[in-house]
Every structure is written in C-alpha cells, then in structure tokens.
Chains A and B, each alone.
Chain A
C-alpha cells in the first residue's frame, strides 16, 4: 500500500503548522520525516494516521492492504502508550480484541509477534517491570500484530538510551526485511534517518514545507558495512546542512513561545 500526500496543509486555530506538503511513500518503502522542532512532523503523521482531521490538500492510501491486515494505518508511539495494568501479552491483545479472530488465532498471533520481537519470556510481565527498550519492543509487537499496511512511527527510539537505540534499529531492519511494510518514520535524529530510511523528507521550520527529499541509495540491510560509511556520513552531513540554519531559528522561536 502506498501513501499519497497532495498539497497537505494544517493549522491549529490561526497557527499554520504545515503548508503544501506533497510526496509519496511507495509500497514497502521507509520514508523518514525530519525537520526542526515544531515544524509539524508529528502533526503530519497524525494526519496520515487519521488522528487529526484533514484541512487542506489530500492524504490517501493507494492499493490493497496485505492479507490478514486488521488495521492498515498503525502507529508506534514515542512514549510507547502501553496500558500499565495489562501484561505484555495483554497489551498486544488489546489491538486484536475487537476483531473477529478466534481465540486460538489471536493467541497464535500474539505468540508469533512476541517471538519476533524477543519478548516470549516476558509475556506475563507488566510494562513497569520492563526497560525502555523492552517497552518499545512491546509497542512494535502490538503494531505488527495487526499486520499493518503502513507503519506510522513517531520518534519511536527517542526515549531510549544510545545503546538500546542501536539494538532496536537492528531489530527494525530485520522486521522490515521480513514484513516489507510501508513506513513513515518521524525522527529528529539524522543518524536514525540515514540508517533506516530509503528516503528522507526534510521539512522547513514552521509552517513546515518540504525543503528537499533526499534518497538514501544504499540498501538498508547493508548500511552497517564499513564500505558504506563514507557515503552515509556524506548524506548525514548533507541533511544537517539542510536543516542547521532552520533548526537554529526554530530553537529561538520555541524558546520565545
């Protein structure tokens, strides 16, 4: 399934947050969305996921959802959004409980995604008993349990320490290689974008407009190899050059709010 954005704009009351955003995330592609603080990255993700009403332009999905898909547009949240009173398995189950699945099928799905995310031994644990990285694994397991057509990831690794982030990035690459899910990935971390995305959509400061779309032409699964280090560093620097001035101005604007 593709995601199509045409001249998308959005305003909170008089404050124009996004303006004239047009791009496409093709099937199986991972597009990272970067930009300075307050440029409307998360707002755009919420618009794509239907958590905010569309105001200007048009957002559409193109194509069929994969077989067994229960929730085509599925979020992974920055703060994990886990129910503290439910176990790991219970949190994953929440996403399935309102669908007409038999108990056996539901439990099989839960087992499968917990295994895929390395959570099989923690099925009965409560979120408070888990580290930040494990909690986000639960968030990812819950998302892939519904076999989404499009994953909408809102800074999923930003609440984690650097080592855990590295480990989870490796896990995400492995999951994407298997699932081939179309992904829109919001991040403020350029290294994450260069490591995980097929293309990076760079937004300007508020109102967020597309400044440039940068393709990362190295296959995701090969980016850890030393021979690609120079290319990836060059892309990282290119992205930083694109947003540095914007980020400086945005930082002062945020402080003055």
Chain B
C-alpha cells in the first residue's frame, strides 16, 4: 500500500433524511399569496373569476362585522359536532366489537365492505324523505359518513394490538373487562385517533355537500348562494373559512394526540 494512490473516503450518505423546516410552509404560503395578488393586480386573473386575496380579506371582514360569519360557522359546526359524535360513538362501539368478538367480525366485515363504498351524500334525498328537510337529515348524512371509516379504523386498530400483550394480560389473570380497558383500548388509541382525522375531514366534506342541497345557513349554503350571485370574493371567503375550520379541527386532534399518546 505504501506506493499506491491514497484517497480520502468520500461521504456518500447525505440526503434522504426525515425532518422539517418550520419556516418553509410559511414562506410557501406567503409566496403563493404574493403571486396570486400580483396576478390579480396585473389583470392575469380577472376579478370576475378569481378575486384578489385582499378582496377576500375584505369580504371576510365584512362577514365578521355584520355577524354572518358566526351564523354560518355556528350552523355548520353544530351539524358537524352532532353528526361526528353520533357516527363516531356508533363506529367505535361496532369497530371494537368487531375487533374483539369473532361473531361480530364475521358478520360485520362483509356488511361494512358492502356499505362503505356508497357515497353517503347520495343517501341525503332518502334521509330528507325519512327525517324531513331540517337538521336531522343533514346530521344523519354526516353521522353515516363518519360511521363507516370509524368502524374500519377502530376494528383495524384493535386487531393490530400486539397479541403478545393480550396473552401477557391473560397470563396474569386480568379479567376481560380490564384487558379491554388497560391493554386493548390504549393499544388501539393511535389507530383510533388516526381514524378520527379521516372521519373529521369526511364530516367537513359532507356538511358542505348537505348544506348545498337544502339549508339556509351554514358555510355550504353561503358558498352556494355566493356562487349563484357571482360574488366570487364571498365564495372564496367561504372556502377560506372551510380551510380554517379544517385546520382548527386538525390542530385540536393534534393536541389530543399529544395528550393521549405522550408515550410515543
């Protein structure tokens, strides 16, 4: 080796790392808004089809001042919360039963597989026939839309709790009730909360769709009315509200995950 060529070993392990830059999303948002504003000011984006960001802000301000913002958000939130709670509670119960009991799984899996793919908004006319044009039909649509993904995620989460933990609990003689509450429920919690994220997004989509079909108040009804009157600044303001509502729900779920899944 003494007279042969020496070369320092080159580092080849760079890149492909996980992690994030906290400033990057803010910069991206700012750039998108700046480009949008510039396109509107220069006439590249006609105001009739796409309002400038500052016009959307003004529309939001006007909604805030005259109180309409709270009326529409309040109506949508009420439907989302009631529908989501009903659908989630039923979905959790059925999903847990399917994860634990062989008979419930044998019956539940084919039924869920058959009904899950149906677009739930297609059932709204049926619900209007059953429950009338008022709140119950919209809440039922949201609840049903939330129910199936909750069943699937809960069943899957329970099914994925490591069997060795359940065997361990059995070997120490824990009664079934305690195995469920102390082993299966906490073990399934990550999957259940992941399911909550999906079901909350579905609830948001369904509330807008349901409000577009038959409602006086609510963000969906507001966006539809603005579109009919070609008030694009109001329309986009409604869309921004939906985005903010989705972000708020996502933030709340993140807080819940941080509290319940501290051990991860």
Contact = CB atoms under 8 A, between A and B. Distances in A.
Interface in A137-169: 142, 146
15 contacts: A49-B171, A51-B167, A51-B170, A70-B173, A71-B172, A81-B164, A81-B165, A81-B167, A83-B187, A85-B261, A86-B263, A94-B172, A98-B178, A142-B172, A146-B172
Contacts of A84: 263-264
Contacts of A128: 263
Interface in B161-184: 164-165, 167-175, 178, 182-183
Given A73-B171, A94-B169, 7 more contacts: A74-B172, A77-B168, A79-B164, A81-B165, A83-B183, A86-B263, A126-B263
Contacts of B165: 81, 83
A51 B263 contact: no
Nearest to A142: B172
A17 B173 CA distance: 26
B246 interface: no
A74 B175 CA distance: 16
Interface of B: 164-165, 167-175, 178, 182-183, 186-187, 261, 263-264
A85 B186 contact: yes
Given A83-B183, A85-B186, A85-B263, A95 B164 contact: no
A142 B165 CA distance: 13
A75 interface: yes
Contacts of B178: 97-98
Interface residues of A, number: 23
Contacts of B261: 85
B171 A75 contact: yes
A202 to B, nearest CB: 26
A129 to B, nearest CB: 10
A95 B172 contact: yes
Given A97-B178, A97-B182, A126-B263, A81 B173 contact: no
B183 A71 contact: no
Contacts of A85: 186-187, 261, 263
Interface of A: 49-51, 70-71, 73-75, 77, 79, 81, 83-86, 94-95, 97-98, 126, 128, 142, 146
Contacts, number: 49
Of all A-B residue pairs in the complex, the 10 with the closest CB atoms, nearest first, are: A81-B168, A85-B263, A75-B171, A95-B172, A81-B164, A85-B186, A71-B173, A98-B174, A98-B178, A71-B172
Listed residue (A70, A94, A126) with the most chain B CB atoms within 10 angstroms of its CB: A94
Nearest to A50: B171
A137 B106 CA distance: 40
Contacts of A86: 263
B79 to A, nearest CB: 34
Contacts of A142: 172
Contacts of B183: 83
Listed residue (A79, A85, A94, A128) with the most chain B CB atoms within 10 angstroms of its CB: A85
A25 B241 CA distance: 71
A95 B179 CA distance: 11
A74 B172 CA distance: 7
Contacts of A49: 171
Contacts of B167: 51, 81
B69 to A, nearest CB: 41
Contacts of B263: 84-86, 126, 128
